Amino acid sequence: MKVFRAAFLIIGVFTATGVFAQSSSELKRRREKLTEELEQLNREYQETASNKKVSLKQLNILKAQINLREEKIVNINSEVRNLDHQISESNNTVHSLQSQLDQLKKDYAGMVLFAYRNQSAYNKLMFIFASKDFNQAYRRLKYLQQFGTYRERQAGYIQGTQKELHVKIVELDKDKKQKNNLLNEQQKEKENLGKEKNNQVKVIGNLSKHQGELKQQQRDIQRKIQKTNREINIAVRREIEEARREAEEKAKAEARAAAAKAKAENREVVAPTKKAITKTSTTSEVLNATPEAAKLSNDFLGNRGRLPWPVANGQLVHGFGTYTDSEGIRNDNSGYEIRTGNGAAVRAVFDGEITKVVDVSGTYLVIIRHGEYFTAYSNLRSVSVSKGQKVSTKQSIGSVATDPSSGDTTVIFALYKGTNVVDPKQWLAPN
């Protein structure tokens, strides 16, 4: 039973270790990705810092660096907590294995002493011949045989336990070294975070001298966003009305054809089984009026949470909803503002049809219809698609533009269900 308890203990430890390893590997991957993004931002900041003129881009890069740095510190804290738990579990396992090993050795020593006292063949024979009858003699003979086998098994258990104990001690030392390295890395990140916050204060101070110019830039950006949103709303409503008109005309044409056929066959007109599209039909009914549109809507809905990002590599600057920046300016974001590399390709997140390509204040807006869903991609420097063109998932539709005043390279992605804007977070795959 002691051996079985030791075996169950080891199995339980390995199971817990498997769960820990999965969580730890995910945290490690996220930390490595954050490190890569921070290095990229640092290179961009060094490029802007070489310019004597302080720009809004410097401030935006510092904001992004601070946010990523804080996230990385939180990530490291989670890794350290996991390691603390693992170290505690390993310590408990080492103590338990050591206790089991001591008990196994004690039991084995007793067997060795018994075997030593009965090592001669004469003593064994006397032990058997002293039996009261044949059955007892047979049982004593089997006992001696099983005793030898049990001794060999116990020796194997001792060796196995010693090996497991050595493995756990090595793992414990490795975890302690890893924790120490993480704590050192965390300390460096905190120091870098302090420097970046100091630089942010300096940059804001320098930019405050050009407050009027900056506010004008912000107003221009807001006007462009509002104009883009108007264009999207107009395009979606026009698409809905066009779909409604086509469905109504198709329904009327089918009704006329059915009436003519019934008249020719001298019978009554049979009422259509499918509900006709009218002016009172809902937006969803209108946009899903055709089998192709209904299938595309279902396919799009079926990929909720798994849609690719509109750029291959990018960092989220602002998510969906209202936010206030460090200058105290309130902004309403109807989608995702994603920072990416200069000239990066912008791609469709799902199969669909281009419904609009329009120039908005010097950059392009592309809208794609996916049944009753629409996706919008704005702030494109160039486009490689045209209205009415079919596109597939991850197909390039153009390249992202860089703002000349701020130096930011961002694409704004928005998602609509009919005329209702929805949060992309629930639809895009984790970045």
Question: Which CATH number belongs to the domain containing residue 320 in this structure?
Answer: 2.70.70.10
> Does the pLDDT value for residue 233 go beyond 70?
yes
Within-domain flag for 41: yes
Amino acid residing at 168? K
> Does the pLDDT value for residue 14 go beyond 60?
no
Q: Which two tokens stand for residue 184?
A: 């050192």
> Does the pLDDT value for residue 7 go beyond 80?
no
Report the distance separating Cα 59 and Cα 329, nearest Å: 15
- Let me know whether 181 and 325 are in one domain: no
Q: 310: closest CA among 388, 405, 379?
A: 379
Q: What are phi and psi of 306, to 5 degrees?
A: -125, 5
Q: What angle do CA 78, 27, 429 make, to 5 degrees?
A: 125
Domain holding 361, by residue range, is 315-426
Q: Which residues pair with 421 in a beta bridge?
A: 416
Mean pLDDT of 99-106: 73
- Let me know whether 198 and 319 are in one domain: no
> Quick one: what percent of the chain has pLDDT higher than 70?
74
Report the distance separating Cα 60 and Cα 261, nearest Å: 69
Within-domain flag for 167: yes
Greatest alpha-carbon pair distance for the chain in Å reads 119
Q: Is this prediction's pTM over 0.75? A: no
pLDDT attached to residue 65: 84
pLDDT attached to residue 122: 43
pLDDT attached to residue 86: 81
- Let me know whether 331 and 196 are in one domain: no
> pLDDT grade, residue 15 (50/70/90)?
very low
Of 69-83, 117-131, 327-341, least confident by mean pLDDT is 117-131
Q: 254: closest CA among 237, 238, 232, 276?
A: 276
Model confidence pLDDT, tens digit, residues 260-319: 777 777 777 665 556 677 777 888 888 988 889 999 999 999 999 999 999 998 888 888
Q: Which two tokens stand for residue 390?
A: 């079919």
Number of domains composing the chain: 2
Which residue carries 């079919």 as its tokens? Answer: 390
Q: 408: closest CA among 329, 315, 323, 283?
A: 315
Last residue of a domain, one of 183, 210, 237: 210
pLDDT attached to residue 19: 40
Within-domain flag for 233: no
Model confidence pLDDT, tens digit, residues 355-407: 999 998 889 999 999 999 999 999 999 999 999 999 999 999 999 998 776 67
> Does the pLDDT value for residue 27 go beyond 70?
yes
> Quick one: what percent of the chain has pLDDT higher than 90?
22
- Let me know whether 331 and 193 are in one domain: no
Of 15-19, 106-110, 122-126, 175-179, least confident by mean pLDDT is 15-19
Last residue of a domain, one of 194, 210, 226: 210
- Let me know whether 203 and 322 are in one domain: no
Mean pLDDT of 125-147: 67
Within-domain flag for 261: no
- Let me know whether 203 and 319 are in one domain: no
Last residue of a domain, one of 167, 190, 210: 210
Q: In 329-409, which ranges are E strands?
A: 330-333, 336-339, 345-347, 352-360, 363-370, 373-383, 390-391, 396-400
- Let me know whether 17 and 166 are in one domain: yes
Q: In 119-200, which ranges are E strands?
A: none
> Does the pLDDT value for residue 212 go beyond 70?
no
Within-domain flag for 237: no
Mean pLDDT of the chain: 78
- Between 41 and 152, residue with greater pLDDT: 41
CB atoms within 10 A of CB 131: 14
> Does the pLDDT value for residue 34 go beyond 90?
no
Within-domain flag for 281: no
Within-domain flag for 235: no
Model confidence pLDDT, tens digit, residues 157-209: 677 777 777 777 878 788 888 888 888 888 888 888 888 888 877 777 776 66
- Let me know whether 20 and 163 are in one domain: yes
CB atoms within 10 A of CB 425: 14
> Does the pLDDT value for residue 83 go beyond 90?
no
Q: Which residues pair with 352 in a beta bridge?
A: 391
> pLDDT grade, residue 246 (50/70/90)?
confident
Within-domain flag for 108: yes
